């Protein structure tokens, strides 16, 4: 019953149905609607704008190819986010060895076509990370997030930056809600300690 209710309230349901019938234009509308948020998630997890662009492109290709297998047990956006997270994890593993040998500065600018990437914080009240971003230290925050292992990185991105509920995150990552909360606590502590080293007492 609960799953059907989720399907009914999914505002993308109509477009998903059209996509399953082969409507490419409907999928293009879904891409336009969700690409910015998916890029934000991928960038926050992977720490590279160029890599994030590739991940999101691959995610939409994968979603398009598998749309007929989408069971609609969750919202389309949640399903798409799960694809982005999994692709980000895989790419992060591939880059881990390479990044180990490459020097980079957390102060390096993040270049995009329009200048710097704009991060949209979650709307349900400012978290500590959001307040720090408002004080123009976004790059230092991202640098500290980059130092987290990906299981901690993804929960802090999904909860504190994207504003997903614990239940939604647990569904995306296929872990219990308690595990999400535990990882989030450890991730926040690690980022807080990192930021103290970078910018001093918060």
Residues 79, 51 within the same domain: yes
Residues 151, 198 within the same domain: yes
Residues 3, 89 within the same domain: yes
Residues 137, 97 within the same domain: no
Measured from the Cβ of residue 73, the count of other Cβ atoms closer than 10 Å reads: 13
75-94 pLDDT tens trace: 899 999 999 999 998 888 88
Domain end marker among 40, 70, 102 = 102
CATH code: domain of residue 169: 1.10.10.10
Q: Are 6 and 74 in contact (CB under 8 A)?
A: yes
Six token digits for residue 3: 């799953």
Return the bridge partners of 111, or none.
116
Measured from the Cβ of residue 168, the count of other Cβ atoms closer than 10 Å reads: 20
Mean pLDDT of 111-134: 51
Query: What pTM, to 2 d.p., does this model score?
Result: 0.69
Q: What Å distances lie between residue 1 and 73, 77, 119, CA to CA? A: 10, 20, 36
Residue-number span of the structural domain to which 191 is assigned: 121-202
Residue 198 forms part of a structural domain: yes
């Amino acid at each position: 019953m609960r799953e059907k209710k989720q399907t009914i309230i999914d505002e993308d349901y109509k477009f998903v149905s059209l996509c399953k019938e082969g409507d490419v234009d409907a999928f293009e509308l879904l891409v336009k609607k969700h690409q910015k948020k998916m890029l934000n998630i991928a960038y926050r997890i992977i720490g590279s704008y160029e890599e994030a662009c590739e991940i999101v492109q691959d995610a939409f290709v994968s979603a398009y190819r598998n749309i007929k297998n989408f069971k609609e047990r969750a919202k389309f956006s949640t399903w798409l986010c799960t694809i982005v997270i999994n692709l980000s994890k895989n790419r992060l593993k591939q880059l881990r060895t390479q990044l180990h040998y490459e020097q980079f500065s957390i102060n390096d600018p993040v270049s995009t076509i329009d200048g710097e990437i704009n991060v949209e914080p979650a709307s349900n009240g400012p978290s500590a990370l959001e307040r720090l971003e408002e004080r123009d230290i976004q790059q230092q925050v991202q640098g500290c997030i980059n130092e987290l292992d990906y299981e901690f990185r993804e929960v802090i991105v999904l909860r504190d930056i994207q504003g997903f509920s614990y239940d939604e995150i647990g569904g995306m990552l296929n872990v219990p809600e308690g595990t999400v909360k535990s990882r989030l606590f450890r991730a926040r502590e690690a980022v807080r300690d990192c930021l103290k080293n970078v910018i001093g007492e918060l």
